[in-house]
Amino acid sequence: MALLSGKRSKQEEEKLSAGLEKTRSSLFGKLNRLVRGKDTVDADVLDDLEGILVTSDVGVKTTVDIIRRVEERVANDKYVSTRELQSLIRDEISHLMLDHAPDRPADFDAPLVNQPHVIMVVGVNGVGKTTSIGKIAHRYKEAGKLVILGAADTFRAAATEQLQIWGERADVEVIKQGQGSDPAAVAFDTLAAANNRNADVVIIDTAGRLHTKGGLMDELSKIKRVMDRQVDGAPHEVLLVLDASTGQNAIRQAEEFTRSVDVTGLILTKLDGTAKGGIAIGISNEFMIPVKYIGVGEQIDDLQVFDRESFVKALFD
């Protein structure tokens, strides 16, 4: 493997254009070709696995980890068939990803411990926070829950209007103040309204911010802190939205957002493109945060509860 042994492999000699075409073809198709008729995994297979994982944004560190685990397991088994190898690889990867926490069920029908159940949504600019909120609101509403949204992105131009439109689409109430108002005050008001109306679910939208901006991250902590004064233990969930096309910087995002607001789950958006969102594997593992939902389009129904098996499978499609 190029990253492990430094040996020069056949792949390294391939030309760039051909290489790019190649990454689109299926690993397991390749595995079949490479493993058939052999009773051990050879370097070419692991090399290919490395290529697939790295091009899915899994990152070098996690990729090397996965390959080591696969090698170790293969070393223990005398004979590995294609089929066994396939499931072994999938197994090792999905093991790295956390399951949904029982007190924060991903299923929209599930009963919620807190009333209102308060969710705060955070992330860098343009990842899909507002859109995801619209979709989640719709799902909770469909499940018969009373949902209220809080427009605490008071910074970006027309952010409130955007959430308002999503509120109309999902047919749920949106609490807002004008652009430039204090986001913590909006969050506070939203929870007050939720208490008044006996709401089941509250979702707070926040302005996109780069995790490197100390002042804005402090602001986020403050928004989070005031909620507890209205509803005990709120927010009960803090969802960090990651764009599936983001590379290694997502790790830094997870690091800083976790530090500031104690992220409890991830939403991985834009999986309807060709990006695989492999970065979520390392993040889920390292920060002990489960991926909760995935976004697969811009329409209100384009949200799915995260499923490890299909996610891992899609890495190799």
Partner 1 sequence: MFDNLSEKLEGALKSITGKGRIDELNIAETIREIRRALLDADVNYQVAREVTERIKDETVGQKVLSSVSPGQQLIKIVYDELVDLLGTNQEPIQFSQKPPTVILVAGLQGSGKTTFCSKLALHLKSQGKSPMLAAADVYRPAAVDQLETLAASIDVPVFSIRKDGNVVKDAVNVAREAVTAARKATRDVLIVDTAGRMHVDEEMMHEVEAIRDSISPDEILFVVDSMTGQDAVNTAKEFNDRLNFDGVVLTKLDGDTRGGAALSIRSVVQKPIKFASTGEKLEALSAFYPDRMAQRILGMGDVVSFVEKAQEQFDEKQAEKLRKKISTEKFDLEDFYDQLQRIKKMGPMKDLVGMIPGIGRKLNDLEVDEDAFKHIEAIIQSMTTDERSRPEIINGSRRKRIAAGSGVEVRDVNQLLKQFKDMRKMMKTMTKMLGKGRGIDPSTFLSPN
Q: Provide the minimum distance between the beta carbon of 296 and ligand GTP in the complex, in angstroms, as a whole number.
A: 6
Cα→Cα distances 281→57, 238, 266, Å: 9, 19, 11
Angle at 17 between CA 280 and CA 246, to 5 degrees: 20
Looking at residues 85 to 124 of the shown chain, list those that interact with partner 1 (rule: CB under 8 A): 124
The helix/strand/coil state of 185 is: helix
276 binds partner 1 (CB under 8 A): yes
25 binds ligand GTP (CB under 6 A): no
Q: Provide the minimum distance between the beta carbon of 123 and ligand GTP in the complex, in angstroms, as a whole number.
A: 6
Residues near partner 1 (CB under 8 A), total: 62
End-to-end C-alpha distance for the chain, whole angstroms: 22
Query: Residue 11 carries which DSSP code?
Result: G
Q: Find the binder of partner 1 among 121, 149, 250, 267 (CB under 8 A).
A: 250
Across the strands, what pairs with 175? 150
Q: Which does 123 bind (CB under 5 to 8 A by kind): partner 1, ligand GTP, Mg ion, none?
A: ligand GTP
CB 231 within 8 A of CB 199: no
Closest CA to 223 of 241, 209, 210, 235: 235
176 binds ligand GTP (CB under 6 A): no
Q: Provide the minimum distance between the beta carbon of 67 and partner 1 in the complex, in angstroms, as a whole number.
A: 14
Residue nearest ligand GTP, CB atom distance: 208
Distance CA 258, CA 124 (A): 13
248 binds partner 1 (CB under 8 A): yes
The helix/strand/coil state of 13 is: helix
CB 120 within 8 A of CB 223: yes
Looking at residues 199 to 238 of the shown chain, list those that interact with ligand GTP (rule: CB under 6 A): 208
Q: Which is nearer to partner 1, 238 or 296 (CB)?
A: 296
Q: Find the binder of partner 1 among 28, 108, 140, 166 (CB under 8 A).
A: 166
Q: Which does 60 bind (CB under 5 to 8 A by kind): ligand GTP, Mg ion, partner 1, none?
A: partner 1
88 burial class (0-12, 13-18, 19+ CB within 10 angstroms)? middle
Cα→Cα distances 237→38, 73, 198, 258, 261, Å: 49, 37, 19, 12, 10
Q: Find the binder of partner 1 among 32, 55, 114, 181 (CB under 8 A).
A: 55
126 binds partner 1 (CB under 8 A): yes
Phi–psi pair at 264, nearest 5 degrees: -110, -15
Cα→Cα distances 211→208, 214, 261, 289, Å: 9, 7, 11, 18
Residues of this chain that interact with ligand GTP (CB under 6 A) are 123, 125-131, 153, 156, 159, 208, 269-270, 272, 295-298, 302
Residues of this chain that interact with partner 1 (CB under 8 A) are 2-3, 6-8, 11-14, 16, 19-20, 23-24, 51, 54-57, 59-60, 124-128, 155-159, 161-162, 164-166, 179, 210-215, 217, 243, 245-250, 252, 256, 259, 270, 272-276, 279, 298
